[in-house]
Amino acid sequence: MKSADAVNKSGQALGRKGHGTRQRVIEATEALLKESRGIAPPVAAIAREAGISPPTFYLYFTDVGEAIFAAMETLNERFDPVVALLTADWPETERLDHARAYVRAFFAYWRDNATLLRARNRLADEGDDRFVQMRLESAARLAEPFTRKIPDAVVDGKVVAESYDIAAGLMVAMERMATVITLELYPEARTAPEPNINGLAWLLASHLTR
């Protein structure tokens, strides 16, 4: 069975020209997403940006969501270094340094891929199953190592919060802060995140045990 990017929607094998056109559509989609801060552009706008007709767009993609999804194909690979930092052991004497390195890497990942990540989250929030699944898979890559490092919260001998719930709260807080920092609407936060990095690093280091 041929991969989705090896044939067009008519089932014809893509030659050099076809691959080039498909790539131009992906690049046009990403460029327009950046202009709109993650709001999906219409097919007509993508076609105009890519220098093709709207019917030609549909030779390569079923809808705009599929073009956006194609633009996100390398996000997992780009996320690997962030996950590796969290998966590594954090000895107690070096825990804060490891936490800072992780937070910096997480923010850098968001800074470099903010357009696609905001689009992914927006489309997931709108109920597009493709992006819901993509977001869940990305979160799961952090949830497991976070949960392994965080003990349950116990007060007076009773578990008041399980490790997974604490991890979920930390992950949401980090993603929300990364979203704000990478928004061009907040240039001060975007260019001077060190206080945010230190605050989150301290929070992580105080909760993680290994």
pLDDT, tens only, 134-153: 999 999 999 998 888 888 77
Asked if the structure places residue 39 within a domain, the reply is yes
67 or 159, greater pLDDT: 67
Asked if the structure places residue 179 within a domain, the reply is yes
Q: Which helix (H) or strand (E) holds 9?
A: none
**How many domains would you assign to the chain?**
2
- What is the torsional sign of CA 80, 210, 111, 32? positive
Confidence of residue 11 (pLDDT cuts 50, 70, 90): low
Cβ neighbours of residue 26 closer than 8 Å, sequence gap 6 or more: 67, 70, 71
Domain that holds residue 79: 75-207
Q: Are residues 101 and 121 in the same domain?
A: yes
The residue with tokens 């190592």 is 145
Q: Domain containing 64 — which CATH number?
A: 1.10.10
Q: Which of 44, 71, 98 is the last residue of a domain?
A: 71
pLDDT of the residue at 210:
66
Q: Domain containing 115 — which CATH number?
A: 1.10.357
Burial grade of 124 (CB within 10 A; 0-12, 13-18, 19 or more): middle
The residue with tokens 């819901």 is 132
Beta strands at 158-161 and 153-155: parallel, antiparallel or unpaired: antiparallel
Q: Are residues 62 and 137 in the same domain?
A: no
Q: Is the pLDDT of residue 81 over 90?
A: yes
Q: Are residues 23 and 98 in the same domain?
A: no
The residue with tokens 């041929």 is 2
Q: Are residues 28 and 125 in the same domain?
A: no
Confidence of residue 1 (pLDDT cuts 50, 70, 90): very low
Asked if the structure places residue 91 within a domain, the reply is yes
Q: Is the pLDDT of residue 43 over 80?
A: yes
Asked if the structure places residue 11 within a domain, the reply is no
Confidence of residue 192 (pLDDT cuts 50, 70, 90): very low
Q: Are residues 26 and 50 in the same domain?
A: yes
